[in-house]
Amino acid sequence: MNQDLESIQADRPKIITTEIDAISYYRKMDTKATVTEMIAGKYILVEEFYSNGLEVLNELKRELLLKHTDKNFQGQRDYRSAFREASHRLLLKVKDNKLVVKKSPDIGWLELLYTDVSEFYVSFPDVQGMNSSWQWYLNGIEIKTLNLRLHPFYSTYFPTRFDHLKLFDKYLKRYEGSKDNAIEIGVGSGILSFQLIQNGFNNIYASDTNKNAILGVSKELKRLDYQDKITLNHADLFEGCNLKANLIVFNPPWLLAKHTLEEGIDKAMYYEKDLFPRFFEQAQKHLTPDGKIVLIFSNLAEVVDKESSHPIIEELQKNNRFRKELHLKRDVRASSRRTKRRDSRENEKVELWVLSPKEKK
Ligand SMILES: C[S@@+](CC[C@H](N)C(=O)[O-])C[C@H]1O[C@@H](n2cnc3c(N)ncnc32)[C@H](O)[C@@H]1O
C-alpha cells in the first residue's frame, strides 16, 4: 500500500503573493543604476521581455566581480553568496500560472507546483532553475541500459552519467538469489528500482527523504504501469518499512557534508556523519538471512580530499555485522575515448559493493 501521496506538498521555489514595492525595469533603462539599487536591497521587477532579466543578471555579475577580486576559495564563496542574495531580488510576475513578460519560456512547473495559486512574483534565478528542470522533465533522459526514458521531477536527483547503472545491471544479470522482496533507500528518480523490476523483482519498498522524489516516482509508476510493483514512502531510511528483503539497494550521497544540510536535493550529494552507521544498523534488521546489501559508491570524496574516510570500508572494519561479498569498480566515462578526462576527476571510479550479513555465532 502506498503512503497517502496526495498529502505530500512538493518542495518549490518561494514566491511572493502580496503586492510589492519594486522598481520596474524596462529595456534601455540604466542597468548599472538598477543593479546598484538591487545590491542595496530593492526588489526589481522585469517588465517587457524575458531577456531584460538576463541583462540585469549579467550586469550584477560584472559589478560583484569588481568588488570580489579574491580568487581564493573564500573569496569565490563570498562572491557566489552575494550574487545569490541580490539576484533573488530580481522578480518576474506570473499570471494564470504563466510568466507575463514577452518571449519567456513556457514552464509547466509554474502550474504543476502551484495548483493553489495562479498569480504571484517569483525570482528570476528560480525561474531559470525551473526552466532547465522543465526541459529535462519534458524531454526525458534516455537510459540505454533500461531501454526507457526517465522524466525527473523538479528538484530531484537524476543520473547524467551511467557507469553505475551498468555495474548494477551486471550484478543483477548474475544474481541468482530469491527475488521475493527488495528495498531501495533513496529512490531519487526511480532508476535503480526500475532496473530491479526489469530484472524480475515485483515487490519493492522504496523511500526517500526528498518529497519531490516520491512525487516524481509516483508519476513515473503510472506512466510505466509499474504501480503494483513499488510501495513508496516519504521517509528517512527504513522508517515505516516492515519488510525483510532479499536485496537492499542504496546509491547514497557520496560526500561528507561540511555544512548543515537542507531538506530536499541537498541530501542527494551530501551526507551527515551518522547516515551510514544508521543505515547499516537498520539494514541488518531488514535483511533475510541470505539477503544482500548492494551499495553504489564512488571514490569521489578521496579524489577531492586524500584524507577522507570511506564509510563502507569503515563499517566493514569497525563492526562485525557484514562481510564483503563483491566489490566491482568502473572508470567513470571509461567508455568514451574521445572525451578523455584531464580534470581533477580524471581518476574517478564508481564502485558497487555487495555485503552479506555475518552469521551470528
Ligand atoms: C545519489 S541519489 C541516488 C538516487 C537514485 N537512487 C539513483 O541512483 O539515481 C541519493 C538519494 O538518497 C536520498 N536520501 C539521502 N538521505 C536519505 C535518507 N536518510 N533516507 C532516504 N533517502 C535518503 C536523496 O534524497 C537522494 O534521492
Residue 77 lies in domain: 5-137
Domain end point (choices 102, 119, 137): 137
Q: Is 186 in the pocket of ligand 1 (CB under 6 A)?
A: yes
Separation of CA 186 and ligand 1 centre (Å): 3
Domain end point (choices 137, 165, 197): 137
Asked if 52 and 163 sit in the same domain, the reply is: no
Share of the chain above pLDDT 90, in %: 78
Confidence of residue 292 (pLDDT cuts 50, 70, 90): very high
Asked if 104 and 201 sit in the same domain, the reply is: no
Confidence of residue 314 (pLDDT cuts 50, 70, 90): very high
Cell, residue 218: 509516483
Separation of CA 123 and ligand 1 centre (Å): 28
Cell, residue 281: 544498523
DSSP state of 83: H
pLDDT at 7 over 90: no
Q: Is 208 in the pocket of ligand 1 (CB under 6 A)?
A: yes
pLDDT, tens digit (0-9, with 9 covering 90-100), for 242-291: 999 999 999 999 889 888 888 888 889 899 999 999 999 999 999 999 99
Asked if 45 and 102 sit in the same domain, the reply is: yes
Question: Global pTM?
Answer: 0.92
Q: Supply the residue whose CA is at minimum distance from atom 23 of ligand 1.
A: 186
Confidence of residue 72 (pLDDT cuts 50, 70, 90): confident
The Cα 278–Cα 127 span in angstroms is: 37
The Cα 96–Cα 119 span in angstroms is: 6
Task: Judge whether 294 and 247 are in contact, CB under 8 Å.
Answer: yes
Q: Closest ligand 1 atom, CA of 156?
A: 27
The Cα 51–Cα 289 span in angstroms is: 60
Domain end point (choices 93, 109, 137): 137
Segment 332-341 shows an average pLDDT of 53
Cell, residue 296: 553504489
Q: Is 159 in the pocket of ligand 1 (CB under 6 A)?
A: yes
Asked if 275 and 348 sit in the same domain, the reply is: yes
Nearest CA among 212, 251, 263, 209 for reference residue 234: 209
Q: Is 157 in the pocket of ligand 1 (CB under 6 A)?
A: yes
Least reliable range by pLDDT among 143-152, 183-192, 227-236: 143-152
Asked if 150 and 95 sit in the same domain, the reply is: no
Q: What's the total number of domains in the chain?
A: 2
Asked if 175 and 309 sit in the same domain, the reply is: yes
Asked if 24 and 159 sit in the same domain, the reply is: no
Which CATH number do you get for residue 178? 3.40.50.150
215 to 4, 138, 184, 244: CA distances (angstroms): 11, 16, 16, 25
Length of the chain: 361
Give the residue, out of 146, 187, 254, 295, with the most ligand 1 atoms within 8 A of its beta carbon, to mutate for a pocket test. 187
pLDDT, tens digit (0-9, with 9 covering 90-100), for 132-179: 999 999 999 999 888 899 999 999 999 988 999 999 999 999 999 999
Asked if 242 and 293 sit in the same domain, the reply is: yes
Asked if 179 and 100 sit in the same domain, the reply is: no
Give the residue, out of 165, 209, 261, 295, with the most ligand 1 atoms within 8 A of its beta carbon, to mutate for a pocket test. 209
Asked if 79 and 201 sit in the same domain, the reply is: no
Separation of CA 184 and ligand 1 centre (Å): 9
Asked if 238 and 290 sit in the same domain, the reply is: yes
Q: Is 237 in the pocket of ligand 1 (CB under 6 A)?
A: yes
Nearest CA among 324, 322, 329, 327 for reference residue 349: 329
313 to 9, 196, 309, 338: CA distances (angstroms): 37, 25, 8, 33
Give the residue, out of 165, 185, 196, 262, with the most ligand 1 atoms within 8 A of its beta carbon, to mutate for a pocket test. 185
Q: Supply the residue whose CA is at minimum distance from atom 7 of ligand 1.
A: 188
Asked if 290 and 181 sit in the same domain, the reply is: yes
The pLDDT assigned to 344 comes to 55
Separation of CA 248 and ligand 1 centre (Å): 13
Q: Is 350 in the pocket of ligand 1 (CB under 6 A)?
A: no
The Cα 151–Cα 136 span in angstroms is: 7
